[in-house]
């Protein structure tokens, strides 16, 4: 519109102007302004303008028309937009048309402009607009000189209003009040000054009704008469919609037969916009003999009950009293909504406490600063949100003075933030302060507060100065001691995580967005501030099948879920497995041609691990392991003799439990085989993501990743108070154990110590790689690993080379490699896939059997051998766990057979499900004889 707020007239002179121009009897109501300068130079003001004082300016905007007291309107400043004060006035007056719009529309309208405007409804319509200037004015103010008018406004129909909190009609000679800001100790928002309207709800127009109506007219009220509840509510509804609200409603309460005054009052009170409407009930004189009817009316929301009278003088006096004692204060109260809104939307943090430093009010910026919701903040002792000692502000027995200095605020996550805080004591009743107002600078605002903090040694001792001038309040620093200064130091360290940057950026966006958007951003911030950003949430499981839900819940959820269901009668502590000494390497190993022949295929994805299990007499890990070590040059890489490796593999294999149907050394060999296949593919594809040492570590990790698995899940171990769960505090119990025992065994015997020839640094790095890979097989972090992998390797763009991030991506890749290898069985040829499904189901069944027998919580109740549907569990497992991961991995490594097998297997499980092939026995009965035979053990 060509209106620039920067040239608005100076506030002080504006007020002075208002006084001189208006004079004590100024008849014209002035547009009102509350003017506050913020530290960034932006200004906050509240303005209320009357439609009658607007006219269109030539630019299409609206200019303010000023009365000269003689009925001659003049335009303040230029009527055309483009220069001088006229522009500014025009700009301000642009708020006014919004009276007819709703707040949402108006806020929308103002979007994109430099001002942000909130129109506030008080007394039912939009009476105040709170304008938050985003641009500072260059030493000029905002006040309403523009609108003060000349020596009064005597235009017909226009009301005089001169009392500071005037409400009464201007033409009423008894009500010559002055609206004069200077009379007030603190400037306040003057209340609306409308034509007062009264709604009379009388069943019939009798003499009582006429007396009331006449009294209203005598006091210049616009009167509307309605005769029924419906008509009354309808009229109110319409008046609300057109912003022509009724200030006074007088209800005939003499007989509930004709009009249910109590119900009408209650309905009005519950209608939006009528909480400050004055409701009067006209009652029979006899009602005043007992209190019940009157109390009921007052409880329903009536402000005052008056006795019926036909005497006009009595009626008039009563009405006058009501105007003064109820309607005027209501109007004044209504303006506070504008102040609260201004306060609430302020960028700066404002807190108000009582005299014992309990928080009574906090604005929205406080929520953001403390990262707490208002309901968490209100009523809190202030000491809870400050790290700093507050005795400097409010010490018992000492008078409270203003404070201006640095205090450290404690956020919800206990993080401490030093802030520049001003504290102002306020006495609301009496002269002793009853409330303290805390005003904080906005961190990350125009002035980077933290960056301006002086180092503790430079902090000058003495007075309270502005932090902008790099001074420190010594009292607050000293009282806080080391903690404060070290915290300040910490916060000013040049350390910033990318997530902190993101949070700061979002917080900035929040400053200037709508309440809904701010709420959404709050949610986003909440998530971003949580630990384990990538940790799986139990998102909606895509299957409604309880078996899949059971399985996936058990796999993805940490044991803590089950701990509450712990059975009290169980205190058995499972000892770790029996110690196994190094087994003698099978003598037949060297010369078995059948084994050798089979191992020729050891890098094929179709490799038959079950055949190897059988022909090695259940030593597949030893044979497969040696073959892998040979193929990947592990002996040379570790600079170790073959015999040590062989002995190591034998010991590792011996510590797998043969009694486990699934988690035995065949599974370890299978995972090692998949690892070998993946490494080969990476090499074939010229993806030099692993060096020889890393390949060796991956193979070792795969071989050992489930060592000493008890055939029960971590949840089971926690629920049964096993020694391992106690040792590892219920956290990643099994995987921690697998990694720990691997090193315990390896380092405990020189004959099997495959690391003994590595130098310290290499060993350290090898150990860290192996531990990281084994821990990555924990399923509760499945989605975390998958999400990270996809976020790094999922993009089309080639990644930039950077040694640090290269190491990080190598870690992600290795984790994914072992994870996929670990649960690759649904992507193996169908007969293998089915056998693995049988084995895992059998192990789950055994766990359920034991849980039942020991009265432990049942981790997967659906895995009951009598009822479980194997196809359903496999469908859920593939859909929820395997599918996405396999696609991600396949697109990285380029092994389409993974997807092909997975899809074939998935279709087969679906087919079984449709055919009603459910139990393990059913499934196995469907398999060709060879498969059954080979796996019958």
Numbered residues of the known binding site: 663-667, 705-706, 822, 874
Closer CB to ligand CMP, 382 or 548, in the complex: 548
CA distances from 376 to 184, 359, 367, 385 (A): 35, 10, 9, 11
Q: Select 42 or 873, whichever has its Cβ closest to ligand CMP.
A: 873
Minimal CA–CA distance to 229: which of 171, 286, 268?
268
- Bridge partner list, 280: 250, 304
Stretch that binds ligand CMP, among 83-91, 692-700, 822-830, 885-893 (CB under 6 A): 822-830
When asked if residue 777 is in the footprint of ligand CMP (CB under 6 A), the reply is yes
Among 823, 856, 868, 895, contact with ligand CMP (rule: CB under 6 A):
823
The whole-angstrom separation of Cα 913 and Cα 907 is 10
Given a contact cutoff of 8 angstroms between Cβ atoms, the answer to whether 162 and 176 are in contact is yes
Closest residue by Cα to residue 877 from 905, 846, 919: 905
Stretch that binds ligand CMP, among 225-233, 446-454, 474-482, 833-841 (CB under 6 A): 833-841
- Rounded to a whole number of angstroms, the minimum distance from the CB of residue 662 to ligand CMP is 7
The yes or no reply on residue 859 touching ligand CMP (CB under 6 A) is: no
Which of 757-764's residues contact partners 24+ apart within 8 Å by CB, and which partners? 757/638, 757/639, 757/640, 758/638, 758/639, 762/693
Tokens of 285: 């004189």
Coil vs helix vs strand at 335: helix
Residue with Cβ nearer ligand CMP (625 or 826) = 826
Binding part of the chain for ligand CMP, among 120-128, 135-143, 281-289, 818-826 by CB under 6 A, reads 818-826
Identify the active-site residue in 128, 619, 657, 663.
663
What is the closest distance, in whole angstroms, from the C-beta atom of residue 695 to ligand CMP in the complex? 22
Please say if 663 is a catalytic residue.
yes
Question: How far apart are the C-alpha atoms of 600 and 612, rounded to whole Å?
Answer: 12
Q: Which stretch binds ligand CMP (CB under 6 A): 397-405, 568-576, 834-842, 859-867?
A: 834-842
**C-alpha dist (Å) from residue 509 to 110, 514, 515, 919:** 17, 10, 12, 56
Closer Cβ to ligand CMP, 88 or 660, answer by number:
660
Q: Does 822 bind ligand CMP (CB under 6 A)?
A: yes
> What is the CA angle 277-187-34, rounded to 5?
75
User: Is there binding between residue 706 and ligand CMP (CB under 6 A)?
Assistant: yes
Q: Which of 679, 654, 678 is nearest to 665 (CA)?
A: 654
Residue 885 CB, shortest distance to ligand CMP, in Å, is: 11
What 8-state DSSP symbol labels residue 706?
T
Nearest CB to ligand CMP, comparing residues 213 and 548 = 548
How many residues bind ligand CMP (CB under 6 A)? The answer is 15
Task: Locate all alpha helices (DSSP H) within 854-928, ordered by sequence.
Answer: 870-877, 883-893, 896-915, 920-925
CB of 878 vs ligand CMP, minimal distance in Å = 8
Taking the complex as a whole, how short is the minimal distance between the CB of residue 833 and ligand CMP, in angstroms? 7
Residue numbers 528-547 binding ligand CMP by CB under 6 A: none
Span near ligand CMP by CB under 6 A; candidates 260-268, 505-513, 832-840, 884-892: 832-840
Told to check if 385 binds ligand CMP by CB under 6 A, we report no
Closer CB to ligand CMP, residue 627 or residue 822?
822
We find the least distance from the C-beta atom of residue 541 to ligand CMP, in angstroms, to be 14
Which residues 6+ apart lie within 8 Å of 924 measured at CB?
838, 932
The CB-of-641 to ligand CMP minimum distance in angstroms stands at 31
Chosen residue from 825, 869, 905, 908 binding ligand CMP by CB under 6 A: 825
821 binds ligand CMP per the rule CB under 6 A: no
Query: Which of 387, 779, 860, 898 contacts ligand CMP by CB under 6 A?
Result: 779
Encoded one letter per residue, x for contact with ligand CMP by CB under 6 A and - for no contact, window 555-574 reads x-------------------
- Residues 439, 424 contacting (CB under 8 angstroms): yes
User: CB-wise, 487 or 823, nearer to ligand CMP?
Assistant: 823
By CB under 6 A, which span of 130-138, 203-211, 802-810, 873-881 interacts with ligand CMP? 873-881
- Strand order of the β-sheet with 403-410 is 359-362, 349-354, 435-440, 416-426, 403-410
The least distance separating ligand CMP from the CB of residue 690, rounded to whole angstroms, comes to: 22
Interface with ligand CMP, residue 708, by CB under 6 A:
no
Q: Is 840 in the site for ligand CMP (CB under 6 A)?
A: yes
Count Cβ neighbours within 10 Å for each residue of 394-422 and write b for 16 or more, e otherwise.
beeeeebeebbbbbbbbeeeeebbbbbbb
Whole-angstrom distance, CA of residue 320 vs CA of residue 539: 65
C-beta closer to ligand CMP: residue 223 or 787? 787
User: Which of 209, 238, 211, 305 shows the shortest CA–CA distance to 265?
Assistant: 305
Site for ligand CMP in 583-622 (CB under 6 A): none
Question: Considering only residues 361, 386, 728, 836, which one is a binding residue for ligand CMP as defined by CB under 6 A?
Answer: 836
Tokens of 125: 């319509």
Provide the sign of the torsion angle of the four alpha carbons 628, 630, 636, 640, taken in this order. Answer: positive
Q: How far is the CB of 848 from ligand CMP (least distance, A)?
A: 13
Q: Which is nearer to ligand CMP, 46 or 779 (CB)?
A: 779
* 248, containing H or E segment: strand 248-252
Q: What residues are designated binding site for AMP? A: 663-667, 706, 822, 874
Residue with tokens 């960056």: 451
Cβ neighbour number for residue 600 with a 10 Å cutoff: 10
Shortest distance (Å) from residue 344 CB to ligand CMP: 51
Task: Kindly identify the residues of this chain, within the stretch 876-915, that bind ligand CMP according to CB under 6 A.
Answer: 877
Handedness of CA 860, 862, 866, 871 (dihedral sign): negative
Window 167 to 186, contacts with ligand CMP (CB under 6 A): none
Nearest residue (CB) to ligand CMP, 389 versus 706? 706
Contact of 693 with 732, CB cutoff 8 Å: no
Contacting range for ligand CMP; rule: CB under 6 A; set: 155-163, 401-409, 503-511, 836-844: 836-844
Specify the DSSP class assigned to residue 126. Answer: E
User: Which H helix or E strand runs over 809?
Assistant: helix 803-822
Instruction: Decide whether 14 or 707 has the Cβ nearer to ligand CMP.
Output: 707
CA torsion 777-779-783-788 (nearest 10°) is -20
Contact assessment for residue 608 and residue 599, using Cβ atoms and an 8 Å cutoff: no
**Least spacing, CB of residue 839 vs ligand CMP, in Å:** 8
- 837 lies in the site for ligand CMP, by CB under 6 A: yes
Which helix (H) or strand (E) is 368 found in, with range?
Answer: helix 364-370
Residue 128 in tokens? 């105040």
**Is the CB of 181 or the CB of 733 nearer to ligand CMP?**
733
CB of 734 to ligand CMP, least distance (A): 6
Q: How far apart are CA 252 and CA 206, in angstroms?
A: 11
CA 622, CA 551: separation in Å to the nearest integer? 31
User: What is d(CA 299, CA 305) in angstroms, rounded to the nearest whole number?
Assistant: 11
Is residue 783 close enough to count as binding ligand CMP by CB under 6 A? no
Applying CB under 6 A, which part among 53-61, 445-453, 558-566, 869-877 lies near ligand CMP? 869-877
Q: How far is CA 798 from CA 792, 793, 794, 845, in A?
A: 10, 9, 10, 47
Decide: 94 and 37 in contact? Cβ < 8 Å.
Answer: no
295-334 mask for ligand CMP (x: CB under 6 A)?
Answer: ----------------------------------------
Tell which one of 31, 150, 169, 826 touches ligand CMP (CB under 6 A). Answer: 826
Q: Residue ranges for the binding site for Zn(2+)?
A: 667, 705-706, 822
Active site (catalytic) residues:
663
Q: Which residues bind ligand CMP (CB under 6 A)?
A: 551, 555, 706, 777, 779, 822-823, 825-826, 836-837, 840, 873-874, 877
């Amino acid at each position: 519109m060509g209106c620039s707020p920067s040239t608005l007239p100076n506030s002080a002179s504006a007020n002075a102007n208002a006084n001189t121009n208006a004079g004590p009897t100024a008849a014209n109501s002035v547009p009102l302004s509350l003017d506050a300068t913020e530290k960034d130079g932006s200004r906050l003001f509240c303005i209320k303008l009357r439609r009658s004082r607007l006219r269109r300016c030539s630019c299409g905007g609206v200019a303010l028309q000023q009365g000269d007291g003689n009925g001659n309107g003049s335009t303040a400043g230029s009527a055309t937009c483009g220069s001088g004060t006229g522009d500014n006035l025009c700009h301000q007056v642009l708020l006014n048309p919004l009276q007819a719009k709703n707040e949402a529309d108006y806020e929308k309208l103002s979007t994109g402009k430099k001002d942000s405007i909130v129109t506030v409804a008080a007394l039912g319509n939009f009476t105040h607009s709170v304008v938050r200037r985003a641009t500072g004015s260059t030493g000029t103010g905002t006040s309403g000189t523009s609108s003060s008018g000349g020596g009064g406004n005597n235009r017909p129909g226009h009301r005089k209003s001169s009392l500071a909190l005037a409400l009464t009609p201007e033409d009423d000679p008894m009500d010559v009040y002055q609206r004069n800001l200077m009379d007030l100790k603190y400037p306040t928002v003057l209340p609306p000054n409308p034509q007062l309207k009264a709604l009379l709800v009388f069943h019939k127009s009798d003499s009582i009704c006429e007396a009331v109506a006449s009294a209203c007219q005598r006091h210049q009220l616009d009167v509307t008469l309605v005769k029924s509840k419906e008509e009354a509510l309808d009229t109110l509804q319409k008046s609300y919609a057109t912003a022509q609200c009724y200030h006074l409603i007088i209800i005939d309460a003499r007989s509930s037969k004709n009009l249910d005054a109590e119900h009408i009052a209650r309905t009005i009170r519950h209608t939006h916009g009528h909480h400050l409407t004055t409701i009067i009930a006209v009652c029979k004189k006899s009602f005043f003999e007992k209190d019940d009817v009157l109390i009921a009316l007052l409880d329903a929301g009536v402000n005052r009950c008056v006795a019926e009278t036909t005497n006009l003088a009595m009626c008039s006096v009563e009405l006058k009293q009501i105007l003064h004692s109820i309607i005027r204060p209501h109007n004044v109260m209504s303006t506070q909504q504008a102040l609260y809104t201004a306060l609430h939307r302020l960028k700066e943090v404002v807190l108000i406490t009582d005299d014992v430093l309990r928080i009574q009010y906090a604005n929205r910026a406080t929520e953001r600063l403390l990262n707490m919701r208002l309901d968490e903040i209100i009523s809190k002792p202030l000491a809870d949100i400050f790290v700093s000692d507050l005795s400097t502000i409010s010490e018992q027995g000492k008078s409270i003075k203003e404070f201006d200095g640095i205090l450290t605020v404690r956020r919800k996550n206990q993080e401490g933030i030093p802030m520049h805080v001003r504290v102002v004591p306020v006495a609301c009743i009496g002269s002793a302060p009853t409330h303290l107002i805390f005003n904080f600078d906005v961190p990350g605002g125009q002035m980077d507060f933290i960056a301006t903090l002086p180092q503790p040694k430079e902090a000058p001792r003495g007075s309270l100065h502005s932090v902008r001038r790099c001074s420190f309040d010594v009292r607050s620093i000293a009282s806080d001691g080391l903690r404060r200064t070290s915290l300040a130091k910490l916060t000013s360290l040049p350390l910033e995580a990318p997530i902190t940057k993101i949070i700061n950026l979002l917080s900035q966006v929040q400053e200037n967005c709508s309440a809904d958007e701010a709420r959404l951003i709050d949610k986003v911030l909440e998530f971003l501030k949580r630990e384990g950003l990538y940790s799986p949430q139990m998102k909606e499981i895509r299957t409604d099948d309880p078996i899949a839900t059971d399985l996936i819940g058990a796999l993805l959820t940490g044991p803590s879920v089950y701990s509450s269901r712990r059975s009290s009668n169980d205190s058995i502590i499972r000892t770790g497995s029996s110690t196994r000494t190094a087994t003698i390497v099978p003598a037949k190993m060297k010369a078995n041609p059948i084994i050798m022949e089979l191992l020729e295929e050891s890098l094929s994805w179709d490799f038959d691990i079950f055949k190897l299990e059988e022909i090695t007499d259940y030593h597949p890990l030893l044979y497969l392991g040696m073959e892998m070590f040979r193929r990947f040059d592990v002996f040379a890489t570790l600079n170790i003799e073959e015999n040590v490796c062989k002995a190591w593999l034998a010991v590792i294999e011996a510590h797998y439990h043969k009694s486990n149907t699934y988690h035995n050394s065949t599974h370890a060999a299978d995972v090692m085989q998949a690892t070998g296949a993946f490494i080969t593919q990476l090499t074939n594809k010229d993806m030099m993501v692993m060096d020889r040492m890393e390949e060796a570590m991956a193979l070792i990790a795969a071989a050992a990743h489930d060592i000493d698995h008890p055939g029960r899940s971590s949840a089971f171990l926690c629920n049964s108070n096993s020694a391992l769960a106690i040792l590892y505090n219920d956290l990643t119990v099994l995987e921690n154990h697998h990694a720990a025992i691997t090193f315990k065994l390896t380092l405990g015997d020189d004959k099997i110590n495959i690391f003994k020839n590595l130098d310290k640094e290499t060993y350290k790095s090898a150990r860290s790689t192996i531990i990281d890979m084994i821990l990555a097989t924990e399923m509760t972090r499945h989605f975390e690993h998958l999400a990270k992998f996809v976020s790094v390797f999922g993009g089309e763009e080639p990644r930039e080379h950077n040694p640090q991030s290269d190491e990080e991506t190598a870690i992600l890749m290795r984790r994914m490699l072992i994870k996929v290898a670990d649960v690759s069985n649904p992507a193996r040829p169908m007969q293998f896939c089915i056998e693995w499904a049988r084995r895992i189901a059998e192990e789950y069944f055994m766990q359920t059997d034991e849980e039942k027998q020991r009265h432990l919580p049942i981790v997967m109740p659906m895995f009951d051998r009598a009822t479980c549907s194997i196809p359903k569990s496999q469908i859920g497992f593939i859909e929820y766990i395997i599918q996405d991961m396999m696609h991600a991995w396949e697109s990285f490594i380029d092994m389409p057979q993974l997807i092909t097998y997975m899809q074939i297997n998935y279709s087969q499980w679906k087919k079984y499900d449709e055919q009603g092939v459910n139990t393990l026995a059913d499934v196995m009965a469907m398999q060709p004889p060879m498969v059954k035979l080979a796996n019958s053990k």
